[in-house]
Structure 1
Amino acid sequence: MAQSHSFCSLDAPNVKQCWALSFGKVLSHVPGAFLTLHPLFPVSTKSRAKAWAGGRSAEHAPSPRRRRRRRRKRRPPTALFPSLLPCNMRAGSALTLTPLLRRLLLPCRSSYVRTQKQRHPPPPPPFPQLAACRWQSGLMAHYGTEQRGRLHSPDYCLYFKNSKGKYISPFHDIPLCVGSNEVQEIPAKKSRTSGNETIFNMIVEVPRWTNAKMEIATKEPLNPIKQDVKKGKLRYVANIFPHKGCIWNYGAFPQTWEDPSHKDDSTGCCGDNDPIDVCEIGSQVRAIGEVVQVKVLGILGLIDEGETDWKIIAISVDDPESQKIHDIDDVRKFKPGYLEATLDWFRLYKVPDGKPENQFAFDGMFKDKAFALEIVKSTHEYWKALVHKKSDGGAIKCTNLSVGTSPYCCNEEDIQAIVQLAPPLLEESSVSKEAEQWHFLGR
């Protein structure tokens, strides 16, 4: 006879294991089941044979050789409830059930698995939109920056480096699309329901809530980020109540150019001779020179002193709301009032300087994602013509390290010499009082 064992003496780490042991004890006495749980449930050889035979005597039990053959045809012994067994029973222990009991226990196991999934759902995959566009972390390039000169002064420069520590141009060497090392075509439209997204690199020039008018210096070699100077004075973004500085992370797309010799059909004006501007509406405040992966949501057509100045509306792919915001209408839904504030900001931001309000194409209406992608594609084509000397860029510097087909491509020694001409980093100077002034404009 099987020896009597007290369950209180067993070292079961939790209730699930106690239930498993209790259930196994019951199964050892059910006809039609052969249950061996060594060393917790030692059962005599005669009892095992009787249980195997379904109540028959040991003389009618199958021979050991035949029993081994039958065991080979069955599923692995730990196929049922492996997580319920103690750790010392999950490997090397025999838990063999007849097909009848297996059929009875499988629904129980399915119910248990469903319950556990409901109680502890698996975490969502990180950045599904990146996986949807076949972007891999191994393809992501990491960029660094090096400061030169004194911050908040005309000689301040922020140079860029690639993942190998080599100096590069943020205007020409950082690819427009994430994961691309070459100039590539941009899809004109991607379906929202298909989960495909085109991810772009954005270079942050003016972080949210800051005032210093930093921008890519297109007319200097290697195009470092510098503070804009006008009439000998450093430029600052005016604080127009209730807004403090920029109300988004403001920057530009690399490898784009708004051609001043091309008259846009939508606006009737020529380009402003700069990379296309981007307003990143995510919740995180970025840093100057940070390269952020974003997806395009829409576009606003600004007419700035008779020039076309497109403003891309985008959101970073690592933002918590990025997975539910895919087009310009989603911005209105999940960030109500943001687009209206953006329109007012661009209309009034030059008024404190004594200039008139800015005008907009399409009566200030934001265009959708498909239209925005077409504009990005066209500005990318203008940049390719610029960097290959097929368009007249005037004073724009196209010095680069990686565009091998460009006549402006230079070697590392020449680029290193350009950086060495800049003054070393000095202590930070105080911010101008102009950045702290507030303007209240009446309607």
Structure 2
Amino acid sequence: MACGTADDINVRTFGAPNTLDFHIYYERDGQVLSAFHDIPLFANDEKTLYNMVVEIPRWTNAKNEINKEAALNPIKQDIADGKARFIPNILPFKGYIWNYGAFPQTWEDPGYISPYTGFKGDNDPIDVIEIGQNVATVGEIKQVKVLGIIGLLDQDETDWKVVVIDAKDPLFDKINDIEDVETYKPGYLKSTDTFFRVYKLPSGKKENTIAFGGEAKNKEFATSIILETHEHWKSLINGTTPRQDIQTINLSVADSPYRVDADNSTVSSVPENNPAAPTPIDSKYDEWFYVSATNKEE
């Protein structure tokens, strides 16, 4: 489980963004990697920085994510009703209000009931929201510092959201824990709370709730949850926990029975880099929705 900044990792893209053909794979020296399993969680030896895989840049709507079910876990656009999925615009929010992504080498085990929330994990890598000033790109790997965590209860599942800041952000040295966010970015966490409560209402689902009475927990607590999900991932990748439909093929995890060589047929069959121009987004996804949160307690 080596550390690394991922500076030597590049993306291999094919298909047009905003379509179901869109894929982003990662590669090092021409060798394809798994976004889920081969990118290190920790970005430095001190384990104070983490590698964040950016799935959705701020102000955008395409619901891209690391795909657990596809071999080597590329970033793909999620599917809703057989079509590419887009997040609704909920006034005053245009798409996502932070750079959104995940930590590799973590997993919210659906067989584990969190003692803090009382709900099972959502079966995904742990989600990350990055609050720095720069808008990221899909597939970018950011080195980030952990600030805190939000205990989203999404449709009766524990869906942690780790709050982080880019190591290159001008406020990196000033924002060090969750209470600093309100000092330097007043209102941001309150808006985040509102967004997570209501963003599924336009699709007909119920309003979400936030654990701990809506309070974002601090860096120390967040770090403990990240390490917990890292341990759950270790059990998944070493075969202790059944993988079910999750693709666990990887090229770098030493103790994994799913590790393969670069000449494996699955690895070698990944198409070469062949990006296409983004497909225009249907105008219906520019619609605005007017909803408000009503549930203020866990």
TM score, norm. by length of structure 1: 0.63
Residue 58 of structure 2 is matched in structure 1 by: 208
Of 103, 107, 111 in structure 2, the residue corresponding to residue 261 of structure 1 is 111
Shift of 1:142: 2.4
Shift of 1:148: 1.4
Where 1:419 maps in the other structure, the secondary structure is coil
> Number of residues paired by the alignment?
290
Shift of 1:202: 0.2
Residue 203 of structure 2 is matched in structure 1 by: 353
The 5-angstrom pairing of residues 8-407 of structure 1 reads 141-162=7-28, 164-179=29-44, 198-407=48-257
For residues 442 and 141 of structure 1, do their structure 2 counterparts lie closer, same or farther at Cα, with a shift above 3 Å needed?
A: closer
Counterparts of 2:182 and 2:69 in 1: how far apart (Å)?
A: 37
What residue identity is the alignment partner of 1:141?
A: D
What residue identity is the alignment partner of 2:279?
A: S
Counterparts of 2:212 and 2:292 in 1: how far apart (Å)?
A: 25
Shift of 1:375: 0.1
Counterparts of 1:270 and 1:434 in 2: how far apart (Å)?
A: 34
Given that residues 197 and 295 in structure 1 are in contact (C-alpha distance below 8 angstroms), is that contact kept between their aligned partners in structure 2?
A: no
Given that residues 212 and 435 in structure 1 are in contact (C-alpha distance below 8 angstroms), is that contact kept between their aligned partners in structure 2?
A: no
Shift of 1:413: 1.6
Greater length-normalized contact order (CA 8 Å, ≥ 6 residues apart): 2
Shift of 1:319: 0.3
Q: Percent identity?
A: 46
Residue 48 of structure 1 is matched in structure 2 by: none
Where 2:270 maps in the other structure, the secondary structure is helix
Residue 269 of structure 2 is matched in structure 1 by: 418
Shift of 1:418: 3.3
Shift of 1:435: 2.7
Where 2:253 maps in the other structure, the secondary structure is coil
- Structure richer in strand, relative to its length: 2
Kindly name which structure, 1 or 2, has the bigger radius of gyration based on alpha carbons: 1
Shift of 1:141: 3.3
After superposition, what is the alpha-carbon deviation per residue over 1:277-307, rounded to whole angstroms, capped at 9, x for unaligned?
Answer: 0000000000000000001000000111111
What residue identity is the alignment partner of 1:340?
A: K
Where 1:297 maps in the other structure, the secondary structure is strand
Given that residues 104 and 125 in structure 2 are in contact (C-alpha distance below 8 angstroms), is that contact kept between their aligned partners in structure 1?
A: yes
Given that residues 141 and 179 in structure 1 are in contact (C-alpha distance below 8 angstroms), is that contact kept between their aligned partners in structure 2?
A: no
Counterparts of 1:387 and 1:339 in 2: how far apart (Å)?
A: 34
Counterparts of 2:253 and 2:79 in 1: how far apart (Å)?
A: 29
Where 1:374 maps in the other structure, the secondary structure is helix
After superposition, what is the alpha-carbon deviation per residue over 1:239-278, rounded to whole angstroms, capped at 9, x for unaligned?
Answer: 1011100000000000000000011000000000000000
Counterparts of 2:273 and 2:82 in 1: how far apart (Å)?
A: 19
Shift of 1:139: 6.3
TM score, norm. by length of structure 2: 0.93
Give the aligned CA root-mean-square deviation in angstroms.
1.9
Residue 258 of structure 2 is matched in structure 1 by: 408
After superposition, what is the alpha-carbon deviation per residue over 1:120-146, rounded to whole angstroms, capped at 9, x for unaligned?
Answer: xxxxxxxxxxxxxxx9xx966322111
Shift of 1:426: 4.1
Shift of 1:179: 3.5
Where 1:271 maps in the other structure, the secondary structure is coil
Shift of 1:361: 1.0
Counterparts of 1:338 and 1:173 in 2: how far apart (Å)?
A: 32
Where 1:367 maps in the other structure, the secondary structure is coil
What residue identity is the alignment partner of 2:197?
A: R
What residue identity is the alignment partner of 1:144?
A: N
Given that residues 5 and 51 in structure 2 are in contact (C-alpha distance below 8 angstroms), is that contact kept between their aligned partners in structure 1?
A: no
Counterparts of 1:205 and 1:274 in 2: how far apart (Å)?
A: 13
For residues 426 and 322 of structure 1, do their structure 2 counterparts lie closer, same or farther at Cα, with a shift above 3 Å needed?
A: closer
Counterparts of 2:201 and 2:237 in 1: how far apart (Å)?
A: 35
After superposition, what is the alpha-carbon deviation per residue over 1:329-374, rounded to whole angstroms, capped at 9, x for unaligned?
Answer: 0001111100000000000100111112101111111111100000
Counterparts of 2:197 and 2:248 in 1: how far apart (Å)?
A: 32
Residue 116 of structure 1 is matched in structure 2 by: none
